[in-house]
Amino acid sequence: MTIQTAFNISVVIFTVSNLAAMGLELNLRETLKTLRSARAIGLVLVWGWVVGPALAWLITKVLPLADTHAAGLLLISLAPTAPFFPLMVRRAHGDMSFAGAFMLLTTIGTVLFLPLMAPLLIKGLTVDTWSLARPLLIMVLLPMLIGGAIRVFAPSVAEKLLPVVKILGGISLLVVLALTLYLYGRDMLGAVGSFAPGAQVLFFVAITAMSYKIGFGLQQPQRSAMALGMCTRNIAAVFAAYFGITNPPPGVFVMVVLVVPLALIVAVVAARIFAAAGDRTNMDEHPG
């Protein structure tokens, strides 16, 4: 087995295990109640697949990014919500029911919109829509739906499986990162001296602040969940999409990998700020 083959296998394991864990954590009954809100659904769709991609496109025009780094930024702009999103919402004292609905909606939205929008946004992307959608359906949506079904019909089994699947996802992430450094370390070091990391941080900070401040009537715990979902990126879905692209340039993958540390750092800081803001709101509403 070659190093590249081991890397591809570890990416599949990471993707499937993390999306299955997201499904095992979902309370579908509470999630479906939240999804009855047309306003919430509309906001998720607008922030996720209108404002987010538009912001990424604007950044590629303002900053002198290499073409491959610009393509990578546009690709990740189409996949909101990381597997560690629920943890960030809990840290922010956010609305977990809203977060569950958000997670399901953004996963489905990524599967639907990423294959359609990526060829339109990224010049020279040689891929047909089905080639991009197929790995997302198999590796992203299906594991999440199976995990959610187990949660509904066999909750005791879901409770036992969740820690095991999370451990598998964590180990596979470490393996992916180690192999990434081995295979693409030189390219990543080259990106550090470019505008690539700054472009990502600018994107994460801007989309987080905008989606939190412009809440259109959502309560603070819901705005926290919305902003953290838009800040983080579904790296598992982006991996799946990346491997559906014909002969992708290495620079795109470097941009994808940079998401893991940069989005996590921004999300941790944002969660702490949102938690403090939520505590102040509670004190104002319930003095004494």
pLDDT mean over 265-273: 95
The mean-pLDDT minimum among 105-109, 127-131, 257-261 falls in: 127-131
pLDDT mean over 231-244: 85
pLDDT of residue 30: 73
Higher pLDDT, 42 or 194: 42
Beta bridge partners of 80: 233
Displacement of CA 188 from its chain's centroid (Å): 20
Q: What does the buried/exposed string (b/e) look like for 92-125 if buried means 16 or more CB atoms within 10 Å of the residue's CB? A: bbbbbbbbbbbbbbbbebbbebbbebbbebbeeb
pLDDT band at 286 (very low <50, low <70, confident <90, very high): low
273-277 contacts at long range (C-beta below 8 A, 24 or more positions apart): 274/92, 274/93, 274/94, 274/212, 274/220, 274/223, 274/224, 274/227, 274/228, 275/91, 275/92, 275/93, 275/224, 277/220, 277/224
Task: Return the ∠ at Cα 245 (arms to 243 and 248), rounded to 5°.
Answer: 90
- Among residues 65, 22, 39, 52, the alpha carbon closest in space to that of 114 is found at 52
Query: How far is 207 from 262, CA to CA, in rounded Å?
Result: 14
Query: How far is 197 from 190, CA to CA, in rounded Å?
Result: 11
Helix (H, G, I), strand (E, B) or coil at 80: strand
What domains are defined for the chain? 3-281 (1.20.1530.20)
pLDDT mean over 136-152: 88
pLDDT mean over 175-200: 83
Residues 253, 72: contact at Cβ < 8 Å? yes
Helix (H, G, I), strand (E, B) or coil at 233: strand
pLDDT higher than 80, residue 259: yes
Query: How far is 228 from 214, CA to CA, in rounded Å?
Result: 14
- What tokens were used for 271? 């969660």
pLDDT of residue 160: 95
Residues 80, 233: contact at Cβ < 8 Å? yes
pLDDT mean over 78-101: 87
Residues 236, 76: contact at Cβ < 8 Å? no
Residues 229, 107: contact at Cβ < 8 Å? no
pLDDT of residue 202: 97
Of the chain, the percentage scoring pLDDT greater than 90 comes to 39
